[in-house]
Structure 1
Amino acid sequence: MAYEEILLRLAIAVFAGGSIGYEREYKNRPAGFRTHILVCIGACVIALIQVNMNEEIIRRVLINPNLKDILRADYGRLSAQVISGIGFLGAGTIIHNKGSIKGLTTAATLWVVATLGLAIGYGYYVISIASLIICVIVLISLKKVQHKLFHGEADVKLEVDFIKRAKAVDYIDEYFEKQNIHMVNLRFLTSEVDGVKSCIYTINLPRSLNLNQVMRDLAHNDHILEIKEVDDDH
């Protein structure tokens, strides 16, 4: 394979991995910009090695036909190891914490980036570029579509009174993450009465959740004294 072709494929791998990694880095995910680039380059290198090995086998068989039953070309062997091996890296980005799971999308992007690297390394430019464009659209544009389909259109404001702010806020954050509740804004109130602190959460609920049930669930925490819905003029 010509050196120019090798450099071209590696450059495309850097671009493809960086394009998906940038979106993950922007959202402060465990595997970000550099990780995705390295995964894509690594997969591309494996594919390039496989291509060059096969070309070398074909060249030797053409020179010495007696080797045709000894030397065999197999395009899938190294690629299969990449696909299975990337699962360990993807599993490392998945975090299970108190019933909630984080990092599934990042694990999926690492797996996709590895497949893109293989496609680029084998020289399937149309497949790799088209797949890259689709992946970027899924990660960026479909996030808004997903929010509209599965979340309510109107935001809700909740005023929460508590004693120990840190413990109460941690509990609320964990609950929101577990229930896939999007927190639009958080405002702490400066006034305190008898050591009671307050804050106002602006949230957007999934369509499957009921506001009253959410308020009842949050009220179970011992550090939360009162929780109520407030209007937009509050």
Structure 2
Amino acid sequence: MDVLSVWDQFEVPYIWTQMEYLLRILIAAFLGLLIGNERKNRNKSAGIRTHAIVALGAALMMVVSKYGFFDGYEADASRIAAQVVSGVGFLGAGVIFVRNNLVNGLTTAAGMWATAGVGLAMGSGMYVIGISSALLIIIMQFVMHKIAYFAKTASNGLINMTVMNKAGAVATIEQFLTGEHIEIAGLQIKKTKKDEIKLEFDVVFPPGLNQSAFMAKLAERDDVLTVSK
């Protein structure tokens, strides 16, 4: 097939074909925006712009892969699409980090990977599959956060406190924390005055713990002078 010149691509009927491809890319970007908005509302590192660009880029690459090599006779449209899947995997790895044996960002990374799939579906012209998949991702994320059983997950944090300097003060606080099913991952101790000890606990809060109520309970102890997290 002969290669179209620049001006040929702006003439009918080729211009309508180009506009249809552009529509696919725009819809993919909009779906990525919707998915990213849900992540932004959860205060995740990858939000609206990241997901929108991932979906737009995947759709663009799929359009180029499937229709950009029309002048060739043996073009494999799946090659670029396959590289998109693996490439987004490396991008998703950037939002995953481990702290105190807890993995954070895994759901966001999986969402970015799925968003790329939505973009590929839209780029290939599978409107029903692409739109339905995007809505399914959003519904799953929303429902999982609304249902208490799925929303309860462990979380890490820091607890800073000042306690009275007396025999067994640190051990007593440690026993209190473990009694509340809080895992102590690290501890820093600093003596500031003769009658005070500053403690900084690196902890893992159990799933479903009301942290505000716990901090209030901790502040009510007679041996605790100040507490914050």
| Fold shared, TM-score > 0.5 on shorter chain | yes
How far apart are the structure 2 equivalents of 1:149 and 1:190? 30
Root-mean-square deviation (Å):
3.0
Q: Secondary structure in 2 aligned to 1:30?
A: coil
2:157 corresponds in structure 1 to: none
2:169 corresponds in structure 1 to: none
Large movers: runs of 4+ above 6 Å: 189-192
How far apart are the structure 2 equivalents of 1:149 and 1:191? 31
Count how many residue pairs are aligned between Structure 1 and Structure 2.
172
Q: Gapped runs of 5+ residues in structure 2?
A: 1-13, 153-160, 164-196
Q: Secondary structure in 2 aligned to 1:20?
A: helix
Alignment of 1:175 onto 2:177: no
Residue correspondence of structure 1 range 18-167 to structure 2 within 5 A:
18-57=33-72, 71-145=73-147, 147-148=148-149, 163=163, 167=200
Deviation string 1:26-85 (CA, Å, 9 cap, x unpaired) is: 11111111011111111011011012224333xxxxxxxxxxxxx302121000000011
User: Does the 8 Å contact 1:93/1:106 carry over to 2?
Assistant: yes
**Structure 2 vs 1, CA of residues 118 and 149 (structure 1 numbering), >3 Å: closer, same or farther?**
closer
How far apart are the structure 2 equivalents of 1:33 and 1:140? 16
**Structure 2 vs 1, CA of residues 180 and 195 (structure 1 numbering), >3 Å: closer, same or farther?**
closer
**Structure 2 vs 1, CA of residues 15 and 183 (structure 1 numbering), >3 Å: closer, same or farther?**
farther
How far apart are the structure 2 equivalents of 1:19 and 1:130? 13
How far apart are the structure 2 equivalents of 1:49 and 1:40? 14
How far apart are the structure 2 equivalents of 1:116 and 1:32? 16
Q: Secondary structure in 2 aligned to 1:55?
A: coil
User: Does the 8 Å contact 1:192/1:198 carry over to 2?
Assistant: no
The alignment-based identity, stated in percent, is: 35
Instruction: Give TM-score, length-normalised by structure 2.
Output: 0.65
How far apart are the structure 2 equivalents of 1:34 and 1:93? 14
